Amino acid sequence: MERACADGIVHDAASLEAWLRDVIEVGSGRSDAVWIARAWHEDLPPVELDALARSYMPSSDRLREAERQGAAFARITSDVWHIEVPPVVLPVALGHAARRVGLDLGPLLILYLQGVVSNMVACGQRLMPLGQTDAQRIVAALSAPCVAVAETVVAEGGEIWSNSFMADIASMTHETMDVRIFQS
């Protein structure tokens, strides 16, 4: 999103909401939900699923982000919950850990997707003129799509794909920016 803001694609509340809707409904948010569900169902051991998930990451920045977040999540979750969580990409680590501690998949996916929205809105507040009220309106407007994606993934599973091409391309070119606030 930082790249999209720098390029003027995301520049106000309306464009940020549209960008995030795409990420959640047809982009990396949806893909992450599918990886979480696959890990929760334990279709493959976490390390094998991790290798597959890594191969679907659209950019080195996105992969680095998922690796770092996953390793940190695995370390903290292993210590706090006293379970073994391997240092794999975040969606795989989260799905695996959630299953081990008995969390329901549906609410887990909803909360994960709402967390993605909230974090990206907070980034938007640092990158453009976006006040608290507009930020909260965006979070509220995207609550229903988060629920819908989570319900679809729980009911149908899902294949991994992304139709959020602008977000994927922005992710690929983010590392070439001269000045960046965010690592990924």
Dump pLDDT digits (tens) for 120-179. 999 999 999 999 999 999 999 999 999 999 999 999 988 888 887 777 778 777 776 565
Distance CA 5, CA 16 (A): 9
In a domain, 32, yes or no: yes
In a domain, 154, yes or no: yes
In a domain, 183, yes or no: no
User: According to the model, what pLDDT value does residue 168 have?
Assistant: 77
In a domain, 11, yes or no: yes
Q: What is the DSSP letter of 11?
A: -
Domain that holds residue 103: 2-174
Tally Cβ neighbours within 10 Å of residue 129: 10
In a domain, 180, yes or no: no
Q: Report CA dihedral (87, 90, 92, 93) to the nearest 10 degrees.
A: 50
Distance CA 57, CA 31 (A): 10
In a domain, 184, yes or no: no
Return all residues near 180 (Cβ < 8 A) that are at least 6 apart.
2, 174
Whether the CA torsion 169, 173, 177, 183 is positive or negative: it is positive
Amino acid at 91: P
Dump pLDDT digits (tens) for 62-120. 899 999 999 999 999 999 999 999 999 999 999 999 999 999 999 999 999 999 999 99
Statement: residue 16 has pLDDT above 60: yes
In a domain, 91, yes or no: yes
| Total tally of structural domains belonging to the chain | 1
In a domain, 181, yes or no: no
Statement: residue 180 has pLDDT above 70: no
Give the domain CATH number at 143.
1.10.4190.10
